Amino acid sequence: MRKSILVASVIALALSQVSAQAMDRKTLTIATEGASPPWDMIDTEGKLVGYDIDVGNELCRRIAVECKFVAQDWDGMIPALTVGKFDAIMSGMAITEKRRRSIAFSRPYAGGFNQLVMRKDLQLPQTDTKIKINLTSVGKAQEAVLEQLQSALSGKTLGVLRSSNSEAVLNDLFGKVATIRSYDTQDNLHLDLAAGRIDGGLADYFTWKTFLDSKDGETAAFYGPELSGGLWGPGVGVGIRKDDTALVADFDKAIQDCIADGTLKNLSLKWFGIDISPPTTP
């Protein structure tokens, strides 16, 4: 009996501490990479801007806290969160089972897909860049497309952001037929691709779009199908420490409200030109 009372007291104390933490919170420090436009980037005035920043500020407004965004290298993003360097991550981060072992996630605030980009001068076999393949469930037709892609990219050198899910997917799909080169930032990958030091790479479609629309990206183009699912998970979410359950709940409600009233759709159209907001239900 005493043991039951003691356990109940401990649980009640823990819950009261979580509630107090939520009530006392007036500012949220949110980390973003600042190097993956239009998700997040640093403008000419040195300010962090992009879809993640606009969405984050809107979510904070609805939660009734002040947002403070800080730049953080991608490689150290999750470790820095877990030791309390900041309160949350908003950096186009896909919700995956591997990451869920270390941190919690809000419900998705964006969808999207990844795609290969290759140099035009390679004269590769033509592909249909509008085909969509969800790697969570690959049928025979999709397998045939991937096999053709593997054959076309045999012997090529492909770049990818280090410690990203795209890196894992690229190694899984093409690691046996191509040389994979990992980069600390997407910008450095772009530089090597523009200079011809690599043949192509895999990344988020919208990050590529910004590069391809620039002068440096004129020598490259999208190649192969739109890829989603699998290691990329159900979408992009806010990364939060596992013990901060109150903050997860606050973000979930704010995101749901932003989906319902069209705010995420409008911000998607502003930054991406298309609606990448998730459905009303997770």
The tens digit of pLDDT for each residue in 225-247 reads: 999 888 888 889 999 999 999 99
Q: What is the pLDDT of residue 1?
A: 44
Return the domain boundaries, the chain: 2-111+235-272, 114-232
pLDDT digits (tens, 9 = 90+) for 11-58: 344 334 433 344 467 999 999 999 988 999 999 999 999 999 999 999
Q: What is the pLDDT of residue 163?
A: 87
Give percent of the chain above pLDDT 70: 90
The average confidence (pLDDT) of the chain is 90
Average pLDDT over residues 63-75: 95
Does residue 63 surpass a pLDDT of 90? yes
Q: What is the pLDDT of residue 280?
A: 66
CA–CA dist 47, 20 (Å, integer): 32
pLDDT digits (tens, 9 = 90+) for 103-123: 999 999 998 789 999 999 999
Average pLDDT over residues 200-212: 92
Fold exhibited by the domain 2-111+235-272: D-Maltodextrin-Binding Protein; domain 2 (3.40.190)
Average pLDDT over residues 116-132: 96
- Specify the pairing of strand 27-32 against strand 88-89: parallel
2-111+235-272 and 114-232 agree in CATH topology: yes
Q: What is the pLDDT of residue 13?
A: 41
CA–CA dist 199, 222 (Å, integer): 12
Gap between the terminal Cα atoms of the chain: 41
- CATH code that applies to domain 114-232: 3.40.190.10
Paired residues of 28 in beta bridges: 67
Q: What is the pLDDT of residue 187?
A: 92
CA–CA dist 23, 247 (Å, integer): 11
Stated pTM of the model: 0.71
Average pLDDT over residues 201-225: 94
Token pair of 51, please?
Answer: 């879809």
Phi, psi of 104 (to 5 degrees): -100, 165
Average pLDDT over residues 162-190: 95
Q: What is the pLDDT of residue 10?
A: 38
Q: What is the pLDDT of residue 246?
A: 96
Measuring CA to CA, how many Å separate 124 from each of 127, 185, 220, 236? 9, 26, 12, 32
Q: What is the pLDDT of residue 135?
A: 92
Average pLDDT over residues 212-220: 95
Q: What is the pLDDT of residue 5?
A: 41
Q: What is the pLDDT of residue 281?
A: 57
CA–CA dist 201, 33 (Å, integer): 19
